Amino acid sequence: MRLVPTVCPRDCYDTCFLLAEVRGGRVARVLGDSTSRVTRGFTCARGAADHLRLYRNRVLYPHLREGRKPGMRFRRISWDEALDVVSEKLSEAIEERGSGAVLHIDYAGNMGLLTQYFPLRLWNFIGSASTDYSICSNSGHEALALHYGLSYGAEPEELAGAKLAVFWGFNAAVSAPHLWALALESRRSGGLIVAVDPRRSETCARSDLWVAPRPGSDVALAYGVIYWLVKEGFVDEGFVEKWTVGYDRLLREAEKWAPERVQRVTGVPGDVVRKLARLYGERKPSVTLIGFGMQKSVVGAEAVRAVALIPALLGIHRGFYYSNSRGWLVDLEYISGLRFWKPSRIVSQVGVADLIDRGEFAFIFVYNMNPLLTLPAQEVLRRGLLRKDVFVVVYETHWTETAEYADLVLPAPTYLEKDDVVVSYSHGYVRLSKRAVEPLGESLEEYKFMFLLAGRLGIKDRRLLEDPWSVLEKALENAFVDGDFGDLLKGKVLKLRSRSRSEYQTPSGKIELWSSVAEERGIYPLPQQADVGGDGFVLLNSATPKYTHTQFREVYGETPAVIHLNPMDAEKLGVGEGDLVVVYNDYGEVLLKAFPSVDVPEGVVWTPRQLKGLDGTPLNALFPTSVQEIGGGPVFNSVRVWVRRAR
């Protein structure tokens, strides 16, 4: 038996240090590793099941389609044949329609630097089209950038010493259990935890105060808090004078949000808003953690802007946490090749289904993502991928819904089968993620595939063919506080260097409460509360403990096809526990099992995200390709649906 130190690379805040227990050449268990100061020796239900997922439902060999799409009728082929097919179809697409007719669709199924970023070198070299990576967090990043320059902020360790932790639209007990554990540690030292969420989530249930605004009314709530911070003298006037611009204009806006108006818009009682403001004013230091889910709505970016201004008034440099990925000094442009080459065009990731359906691409390469469950407008996307004039390659670890629409499926290794370096978007601790077992079947590391395909295409550019570990060494040259790349390769845990918390990359060099960049772009310089009323139910969807997006269904089965609604709404609809209901709108309909729950307010329904209905229809069939003005993000958590009993 041996224990192999590795790192979970999934799209998760925590980026756990793990130990893979290897017995007889197989991974027998995956354990938490206490080496990390943040993840500290325990892991979640997903990480603990990785030894099972490693061996289930795997793509082990290249497969070429034999039957019609959609479906799983393939024949196994050799890598030589697969490379011939890819190079032929890719060359044909470029020759006949140009590099803009080639599209790579990818995201963060594995966030290792050699897995997620390095393979982009080939696609950037040939100038293929790229998405804007807007499906998850981009609107929040861009919203924060309007006022702060970049979106980085507090680091997780600060939670342990905070006197107040506010989880705003952030169900950390499920989505970031190690950050949640740090908040609980602060409580043992007298700290308080507040959760702001329309639904009584797992985090809300365990917090000291739950504030439940109507979905989409967070701007009004933030202004309500600011109103009381001003009225009760909690604003740090010296800090505001030195480090911000536009306070007078913010003040005039906040004055419009008297308690009666805030309560009318948000549904939050006036005394609760005032209590939240007093907690902010009296309990310093505080950390406000802003969830990705909150900004996935038509008013999401505005909400992030508004909430992030609260810490500035309290005299805290970047006293929010959203994501720290833009604060680290890692040269991702060098790793991905964007330093040398650019995509021929960048298209909306949220709206890519429309472009595919219109036939704008002749060759599509999908990796590190399962878009046939995760992108909106599923009916449109599936229709587009059935076109006879597009060739689809899926490079995957496991058989997925996307493979059902592929012409060629290629086998990729999981993180337990390769060496890599993973950088967290919350904490700054990095160590080498080591291979625990040899790649299963003929699964091939992404950069090796890239080199082989470049050879088939006759590409000899030295920059493209640079040794990947040499690339990482250069990209991480000035990235660490306490060591260098050589130390990392020897197994040392290093801490990333971050940009200064008091550095603001705005035109003024200060926190711009009134954003000059927004003004130049034609966006109102202060956060604005939009009217979020409408018919039907607001559909909220979020993560559940056993799944990372669409991963781990091999272990835990399909994501539960359920919908939770308030008992009052259920009674009006004549719906009881376990009844089958059709959830529908103009974009599609999904068959789900209903469960009345007092955790969901009236007028709102909640489902686990990215599920498949009992009829096989993806939940994301209900979501449009419309995007937010700021950052181009999706509007998932503001879509309205109707519910009827299934016949």
DSSP 340-408: T---S-EE-STTHHHHHHTT--SEEEEES--HHHHSS-HHHHHHHHT-TT-EEEEEESB--TGGGG-SE
Task: Please give the structure tokens belonging to residue 503.
Answer: 């550095």
User: What's the half-sphere exposure (Cβ side, CA atoms, 13 Å) at 394?
Assistant: 25
Q: What are the tens digits of pLDDT across the range 85-130?
A: 999 999 999 999 999 999 999 999 999 999 999 999 999 999 999 9
End-to-end CA distance of the chain: 56
Query: Over the range 107-145, which residues count as b (16 or more CB within 10 Å of their CB) and which as e?
Result: bbbbbbbbbbbbbbbbbbbbbbbbbbebbbbbbbbbbbb
Cα 215 from Cα 532, distance rounded (Å): 8
Q: What are the tens digits of pLDDT across the range 460-506?
A: 999 999 999 999 999 999 999 999 999 999 999 999 999 999 999 99
Q: Is the dihedral of CA 18, 479, 183, 292 positive or negative?
A: negative
Question: What pLDDT, on the 0 to 100 scale, is given for residue 533?
Answer: 86
Cα 33 from Cα 554, distance rounded (Å): 24
Question: What pLDDT, on the 0 to 100 scale, is given for residue 189?
Answer: 92
Counted residue by residue, the chain has a size of 647
Q: What is the 3-state secondary structure (H, E, C) of 221-271?
A: HHHHHHHHHHHCCCCCHHHHHHHEECHHHHHHHHHCCCHHHHHHHHCCCHH
Beta bridge partners of 367: 106, 395
Positions in the chain short of pLDDT 50: none
Q: What are the tens digits of pLDDT across the range 501-548?
A: 999 999 999 999 999 999 999 999 999 999 988 999 999 999 999 999
Question: What pLDDT, on the 0 to 100 scale, is given for residue 88?
Answer: 98
Question: What pLDDT, on the 0 to 100 scale, is given for residue 532?
Answer: 86
Domains and CATH numbers, the chain: 2-53 (3.30.200.210), 63-135+329-495 (3.40.50.740), 139-322 (3.40.228.10), 537-645 (2.40.40.20)
Q: What angle separates helix 247-255 from helix 218-231, to the nearest 10 degrees?
A: 110
| Residue for token pair 């500290």 | 40
Question: What pLDDT, on the 0 to 100 scale, is given for residue 40?
Answer: 87
Q: What is the 3-state secondary structure (H, E, C) of 81-122?
A: HHHHHHHHHHHHHHHHHCHHHEEEEECCCCCEHHHHHCCHHH
Helix or strand or coil: residue 556? helix
Question: What pLDDT, on the 0 to 100 scale, is given for residue 135?
Answer: 97
Question: What pLDDT, on the 0 to 100 scale, is given for residue 37?
Answer: 87
Cα 574 from Cα 592, distance rounded (Å): 15
